[in-house]
Structure 1
Amino acid sequence: MSLSQVIFAFVYGICLLSSTQGEFTNGTAYYDYEHNQYYVKCGQLDKGDGSLAYGTFNDTTNTTGWGVLDVKFSGPSKSYEEDLVRMTAAGVMEGILTGERIHQTYLNNFQSFLAGKPQFAARLSEFYMKQNQWTRKMVAGNPDDPFWQGVSLVVAQLDGLLIGYNLKSCQRKTLPTLDLSAMLFLNGMGDILDLQYVLNGTSFPDIEKATPDELRNFFRMSGHCSVLIKALPGFEDIFMSHSTWFDYNSMLRIYKHYNFDLMFQGAAAKAMSFSSYPGMLESLDDFYILGSDMLMLQTTNDIYNQTLYKMVKPESLLAWQRVRVANLMANSGAEWGKIVAKYNSGTYNNQYMVVDRKRISGELLDGTLTVVEQIPGLVMSEDQTAILRAGYWPSYNIPFYETIYNLSGYPMMKKKRGNEESYQLYVRAEIFRRDQSTVTDMKSMMAIMRYNDYLHDKYSNKDPAWSICSRFDLRAKDAFAGGCTDTKITNLEMAKTFSAMAVSGPTTSHGIPVFRWTSAFNDSHIGLPESYNFPFVLMEPTL
């Protein structure tokens, strides 16, 4: 039996899984070499030699705003070929445990991005399928290259995810079958933010002719997230935090813990914990705690210079794939930047911040903070520890590197929108600069990352979208169901155990009303709670 037969084998199941909201489910994946089939036993966690991977899913969406998934190899892998089999099994476990939530997420995102756009949907599917075929061809053509071996492990997990989802749907007879293009759509969600322009799914405005208000409304949610990395004055602690900005119908969340004891020699991080979504093998936010003693956070930047998109082609690796491989293989921020730059797709163009805890020993040694920024055709990466030594590093959807800022077209947009496109004078830059010194502990870090006092803060100018944790739904004009959807925070001690504090939902800072789904918003929100007023909860691995 060939390796490809093992990885892409037909899968059968011998159990039924209920995913009643709030119910705790678990199971173990195996491989039947005689019949060339994976199978799953539910309701048990088998760590024996015959098992491959096991997992648990605690769906507490309606009580905390999060589901929590743990997936772990049942033992150490003994070869790279076995790595691939176990990674597929890990994907199978995730697909079968979270299948109902995957289907709900697919429906909600389809409505947001593809409904009423059949031509764009066809172009996007074609792009993703070509990219997928190219990726598999490169994996097959470079069997001894550590980088492509890393890519192959991610591909195997994706294959298992699809297998596991469809296994569950076949068992329960209630979930429609999803194909590979559907899983590529979900995992490429961030890349769509750029591909919608590349593939003409959305017409880009004429920046010279558009008014500031027209531009503001068009790019209202293209800026994705707020980050603050805060070092206490004596470096007693460092807090690392991330608040996602996205459409509210994305708030079907799963916090995930992976523990994969790979034989793969290139693996620097065999375990990781991260905020995520059903059906996605990446964070998307991004917020990762890695087994390499590193953390990675991310905010998204805009591309206003549309000529850059001419460099986007399917013969490349998408952002989510490169991030997963860099997270797996890098042992330093500098290595992370080099790996994520390989085969740059020029889609989901972000600022990535990598904190290396190994470089913190009383002092913050060079290499503690590496900042990476990507645009089509260019990835820049440099050590920015010197700035962190001064107390903090903020990130708020405007490029830090002048070269990236200029090539992306920000100077042109700044002439139209003023300080909204200024790295130094953007509203969140001003608020972070003013308030970061108030952070002394976890409670105060929670407060700044959920901060929104738009009615009284002079920098917000009475706009609920102009704060650290935005609420576009509260705007008097041009309101929509979008804004700050969560916050995740960890510190040096918690990161040692892959732990973080996390809250799901729009902020209620300074008496802001709780968000509720009403007739004012017609966004598809299948499976989401009707209102969001959840507390911070502790996230930590259970396996």
Structure 2
Amino acid sequence: MKLLFFLFGLIFAVEQEKPYLDNNRVPVEQILNDHSSAKFDYTYVSVCVNSTDETLLDIVYAKECKNAASRVALGKYSNQVNTTGWGILEIETFASHSYDVQAYGAGVAEGELTRLQIYYHYRNTIETMCNNHTLFCKRLYIYLQQNLDWMRSQVQANPPTDPFWRQVNLTFAQLTGIYDAYSKRNLTPEIGFDLHPIYMMQLAGDMFDLNKLLNKTADPMEYPEGGRCSGFVKLAPGNKDMFMAHVSMSSLSWMQRVLKIYKFGYDVNEVPGHIVTFSGYPGVLISTDDYTITSAGLTSIETTIAIFNQTLYTDKFMKPEGQVHCWIRSMISNLLSRTGKQWVDMFGRYNSGTYNNQWTVLDWKQFTPEKELPDKDVLWISEQTPGYYETRDMTWYLKKYTYFASYNIPFLPKVSEISGFDNKARQFAWFDWGGSPRARIFDRDHSKVTDIDSLTKLMRYNDYTHEEFARCKCTPNPYTGEGGISARGDLNTPGGTYEVESMGFRDHAGLDFKGTNYEMFKKMRFRAWGGPPYDPLPVFDWNHTNLTNVRHFGQPDVWNFTYVDLEWQLAAQVQLTPYDN
């Protein structure tokens, strides 16, 4: 059956000495921050044009190709999953090759270096998605194939100079490269708009809403209508610094993680975001959390908006033709946008009604330490539902309150109404913008953030048994582990009674922390902490949890890691001043 081939057709494969030191010298690692990623060893691969057949690429485990001019891409990978909770991946492509070949080569390097992690991530998240859901998967297969066919037709119909559709094409070139290298196929730079499990990995966020549109039987443990993420922007006292942070919250099966930098050899005038750094997942081209820094001087994050208005899940608002899924639109917006307004405007094109989020986009170019912020264009948000999309400049809010927090509740009144949040908020403060537990904690504690360490502490905060805003009319305990900036739904009482389903025991927790300040941003760096929050809460341990039947292939058992301060080996130049009009 073609469906089964689509789902299960991958072939899986798994598989220094100290330099001489003078008396007045010390090893580099002794003077590095103990948390710096620069101390890790890396594996290198070069993707090279074949010496006898220029239509083929070869993979060489070296920093260079025999013929330097033949090098299409360089990949570097350090698997630190068992020491930090993260893999670290760096991909660079070279301008002497066409954009299509560069994108494909970037995918090849990633597919080769992270094959084992891709395999684990597939097993944890995709392998069983059609178990007991055969009819749903048939509907999904038809829908996705129609969408892929339509996008292919648009790439062919639009001129190659069209920036949006050119980037759609390059996105699928990169995805094809990952799939070909992972599957150990011949490496012929081609662009496939094909259904395969690695394509399904890209759709992780979009599937929240495709599941509802196509009537997948709901699993409260898998897809609760709760908070998926926490986002935060903060001005330091006196505008001496600025911070942007994010916590991703999801199933604990999603803790196979990779920190990435892509550096494409594209013309910076055509692709201002040709360098992106982000927290992500094996084989996935976008963050999905989302937390992305671009060389155009932007950082984009999102928190998901649940859709309670089920009448939106119809072919009036969601259809396979005329729409582009969220993961592609976010990638293109990061690559092509120079400003926050450009980002939110571009993202709104071809609204698919999937992965409905509040996006927050910060333009660091508008910030100068110890100077007053401009009155506009520092901070933009967008909010989406099926059939509706709205943007707003929130610079005024950041200037007035010195922070902006995002916590899975729409800010814009019309989005709140359309999505059904306003009705929910009248029943429970849990769904009220400004009144939910995370909203109240952010409002109370944002002033404590003065540096990267205090930012880290706030975003990892969860002390739900002592936190007044985590209290609920629940039994047997009057509080919920979902009542922190970073959730611990796994610590709630199995079989307990909770006011709202998403307050209860479930496979849901904060998976990480990512945060940056102005100095780190200037090198496209950020701090990353893998795993659910602990201290004062217990460390998450797969051997001592009430969760059962949650896949976690390739994960450490005990998540007692500390943070990593990223130090990219690649030079990452970022735009620091506003672009000329």
- Normalising to structure 2: TM-score of the pair? 0.82
Q: Which moved more, 1:43-52 or 1:129-138?
A: 43-52
Q: Is contact 2:410–2:416 with CA below 8 Å preserved after alignment?
A: yes
Does structure 1 residue 342 correspond to structure 2 residue 349? yes
* Pairing partner for 2:386 from 348, 357, 376: 376
Report the Cα distance in structure 2 between the residues aligned to 1:377 and 1:17, rounded to whole angstroms.
43
Superposed, which structure 2 residues align to 1:28-427 within 5 Å?
Answer: 28-32=46-50, 34=53, 36-46=55-65, 48-73=68-93, 75-77=94-96, 82-110=98-126, 113-143=129-159, 144-167=161-184, 180-203=195-218, 220=224, 222-263=226-267, 266-310=270-314, 311-315=317-321, 316-361=323-368, 362-365=371-374, 366-389=376-399, 390-416=401-427, 418-427=428-437
Q: Is contact 1:77–1:83 with CA below 8 Å preserved after alignment?
A: no
Q: Is contact 1:125–1:181 with CA below 8 Å preserved after alignment?
A: no
Partner AA of 1:187 in structure 2: Q
Report the Cα distance in structure 2 between the residues aligned to 1:399 and 1:188, rounded to whole angstroms.
22
The residue number in structure 2 matching 1:173 is none
Report the Cα distance in structure 2 between the residues aligned to 1:523 and 1:89, rounded to whole angstroms.
34
Q: Is contact 1:394–1:429 with CA below 8 Å preserved after alignment?
A: yes
Partner AA of 2:288 in structure 1: L
Identical positions, percent:
34
Report the Cα distance in structure 2 between the residues aligned to 1:276 and 1:217, rounded to whole angstroms.
23
Once the two structures are TM-superposed, the CA of residue 352 in structure 1 deviates from its matched residue by 0.7
Report the Cα distance in structure 1 between the residues aligned to 2:195 and 2:46, rounded to whole angstroms.
23
Once the two structures are TM-superposed, the CA of residue 304 in structure 1 deviates from its matched residue by 0.8
The residue number in structure 1 matching 2:512 is 486
The residue number in structure 2 matching 1:4 is none
The structure-2 alpha-carbon separation of the partners of 1:77 and 1:354, relative to structure 1 and needing over 3 Å to count, comes to: farther
Q: Is contact 1:150–1:266 with CA below 8 Å preserved after alignment?
A: no
The DSSP-based 3-state class of the residue aligned with 1:138 is helix
Q: Is contact 1:83–1:263 with CA below 8 Å preserved after alignment?
A: no
1:358-397 alpha-carbon deviations (Å, 9 max, x no partner): 1113222210101111111122111101111121000000
The DSSP-based 3-state class of the residue aligned with 2:238 is coil
The DSSP-based 3-state class of the residue aligned with 2:79 is strand
The structure-2 alpha-carbon separation of the partners of 1:539 and 1:169, relative to structure 1 and needing over 3 Å to count, comes to: farther
Partner AA of 1:467 in structure 2: G
Does structure 1 residue 513 correspond to structure 2 residue 538? yes
The structure-2 alpha-carbon separation of the partners of 1:218 and 1:253, relative to structure 1 and needing over 3 Å to count, comes to: closer
Report the Cα distance in structure 2 between the residues aligned to 1:513 and 1:539, rounded to whole angstroms.
26
Q: Which moved more, 1:498-507 or 1:47-56?
A: 47-56
The structure-2 alpha-carbon separation of the partners of 1:162 and 1:219, relative to structure 1 and needing over 3 Å to count, comes to: closer
The DSSP-based 3-state class of the residue aligned with 1:448 is helix
Once the two structures are TM-superposed, the CA of residue 156 in structure 1 deviates from its matched residue by 1.0
The DSSP-based 3-state class of the residue aligned with 2:361 is strand
Once the two structures are TM-superposed, the CA of residue 17 in structure 1 deviates from its matched residue by 8.9
Once the two structures are TM-superposed, the CA of residue 263 in structure 1 deviates from its matched residue by 3.4
1:24-58 alpha-carbon deviations (Å, 9 max, x no partner): 32211123383521211113344921110010110
Q: Which runs of 5+ in 2 are unaligned?
A: 1-12, 16-39, 188-193, 472-478, 497-503, 571-581
Partner AA of 1:102 in structure 2: I
The DSSP-based 3-state class of the residue aligned with 1:406 is helix
Partner AA of 1:441 in structure 2: D
Q: Is contact 2:268–2:274 with CA below 8 Å preserved after alignment?
A: no
Report the Cα distance in structure 1 between the residues aligned to 2:567 and 2:140, rounded to whole angstroms.
36
Report the Cα distance in structure 1 between the residues aligned to 2:272 and 2:41, rounded to whole angstroms.
34
Partner AA of 2:196 in structure 1: S
Partner AA of 1:150 in structure 2: Q
The DSSP-based 3-state class of the residue aligned with 1:190 is coil
Report the Cα distance in structure 1 between the residues aligned to 2:402 and 2:111, rounded to whole angstroms.
42
Partner AA of 2:201 in structure 1: L
Q: Which runs of 5+ in 1 are unaligned?
A: 1-15, 171-178, 205-215
Q: Is contact 2:47–2:72 with CA below 8 Å preserved after alignment?
A: yes
* Pairing partner for 1:438 from 442, 448, 457: 448
The residue number in structure 1 matching 2:31 is none
Partner AA of 2:542 in structure 1: W
Report the Cα distance in structure 2 between the residues aligned to 1:349 and 1:402, rounded to whole angstroms.
15
Q: Is contact 1:17–1:168 with CA below 8 Å preserved after alignment?
A: no
The structure-2 alpha-carbon separation of the partners of 1:347 and 1:17, relative to structure 1 and needing over 3 Å to count, comes to: closer
The residue number in structure 1 matching 2:7 is none
Q: Which moved more, 1:370-379 or 1:30-39?
A: 30-39
Report the Cα distance in structure 2 between the residues aligned to 1:169 and 1:414, rounded to whole angstroms.
55
1:82-138 alpha-carbon deviations (Å, 9 max, x no partner): 011111010111011111111111111125643322222232233222222211111
Does structure 1 residue 466 correspond to structure 2 residue 444? no
The DSSP-based 3-state class of the residue aligned with 1:127 is helix
Q: Is contact 1:17–1:42 with CA below 8 Å preserved after alignment?
A: no
Report the Cα distance in structure 2 between the residues aligned to 1:252 and 1:91, rounded to whole angstroms.
19
1:197-217 alpha-carbon deviations (Å, 9 max, x no partner): 01111359xxxxxxxxxxx97
Q: Which moved more, 1:465-474 or 1:29-38?
A: 29-38
Q: Is contact 2:512–2:530 with CA below 8 Å preserved after alignment?
A: yes
1:176-226 alpha-carbon deviations (Å, 9 max, x no partner): xxx84212210011000111101111359xxxxxxxxxxx97963642100
Partner AA of 2:345 in structure 1: K
Once the two structures are TM-superposed, the CA of residue 328 in structure 1 deviates from its matched residue by 0.6
Once the two structures are TM-superposed, the CA of residue 169 in structure 1 deviates from its matched residue by 11
The residue number in structure 2 matching 1:174 is none
Partner AA of 2:389 in structure 1: V
Q: Is contact 1:99–1:168 with CA below 8 Å preserved after alignment?
A: no
Partner AA of 1:475 in structure 2: N
Partner AA of 1:466 in structure 2: G
Q: Which moved more, 1:112-121 or 1:379-388?
A: 112-121
- Normalising to structure 1: TM-score of the pair? 0.88
The structure-2 alpha-carbon separation of the partners of 1:454 and 1:132, relative to structure 1 and needing over 3 Å to count, comes to: same
Q: Is contact 1:54–1:93 with CA below 8 Å preserved after alignment?
A: yes
1:404-455 alpha-carbon deviations (Å, 9 max, x no partner): 1100011222344x10110021111111000101111111111110001111
